[in-house]
Structure 1
Amino acid sequence: MSKLSYVNVFARDIDALSGFYQRVFGFPEVEAIRSPIFRGLDAGTCCIGFNAPDAYDLLHLTEYAETSGCKFLLNIDVDSPDDVDRMVPIACEHGATLIKSPYTTYYNWYQAVLIDPEGNVFRINHML
């Protein structure tokens, strides 16, 4: 069976952006895969990879490189609704912008929608 191993994010500053997710969620770096253009974080059931813009050329994606906009959506699950409420101000203290305060969705998840310091959308979720 296939499984998700990484979600990769193109970041202008891989150290700053991976550091943001480390400080907010406590994800440790996978130092064995560190390179000049890559940082990886162990996010539990999968990893988050942060690619420097140089990786566009490496992967032959230069013509598809976007300079702005919503390119992906990270979903980070936490253990309880209280954890969603607790993590939102921590994320904001570290540079995130709250877009939608914690709420219960029509599909019965409790979540908040935020933007990280580089403008990428992420949600903090708990499935009720």
Structure 2
Amino acid sequence: MSLAPTLAPTLVYVTFLARDVAALAQFYVDALGLEEVLASRDERYREVRGGGCMIGFATQAVRPFIKLPEIEPVGTRAIVTFDVGTVAQVAVMAARAVAQGATLVREGQDTFFGQHQAVLSDPEGNVFRLSAASGS
């Protein structure tokens, strides 16, 4: 008997633990133009729509609720990538993000896997990439 799923799962949420959920959600609204999901708004949680995936920001108060143990952070543990459509938009969106408080880690450049990407970190240090197909 196989335990393999009949359909591949679909990624619908990514959640970051955050010191200031309101400020971090607002950063992604202002810097990248994502839409906040107001129905999910709470003092412990904020959520933005990032294309087909929701991005949540939760306070440490959620740890006991989901039975998540305290984990010592060890550098960058994840990278979120946003497709911005064209190579020119990578630079435009990177500049917009920096103007809203992001830190530019690496300017846009072509990668070995056919993407042109800029690497940034948000105001709480979470790393994200702005990406487009090379030559687009």
Q: Give the TM-score band, short-chain normalised.
A: over 0.9
Q: Is 2:88 aligned against 1:92?
A: no
Alignment counterpart, residue 81 of structure 2, candidates 61, 75, 80:
75
Unaligned runs of 5+ in 1: none
Name 1:112's counterpart in structure 2.
118
Give percent identity, aligned residues only.
Answer: 37
User: For residues 106 and 85 of structure 1, what CA distance do their matches in structure 2 show?
Assistant: 19
Name 2:3's counterpart in structure 1.
none
Unaligned runs of 5+ in 2: 1-6
| Aligned-residue RMSD, C-alpha | 1.3
Moved more, 29-38 or 101-110: 29-38
Displacement of 1:98 in angstroms is: 0.7
Alignment counterpart, residue 122 of structure 1, candidates 117, 124, 128:
128
Name 1:55's counterpart in structure 2.
62
Off by >6 Å, runs of 4+ in structure 1: none
Moved more, 67-76 or 7-16: 67-76
User: For residues 118 and 67 of structure 1, what CA distance do their matches in structure 2 show?
Assistant: 13
Q: Is 2:22 aligned against 1:15?
A: yes
- Residue correspondences, number: 127
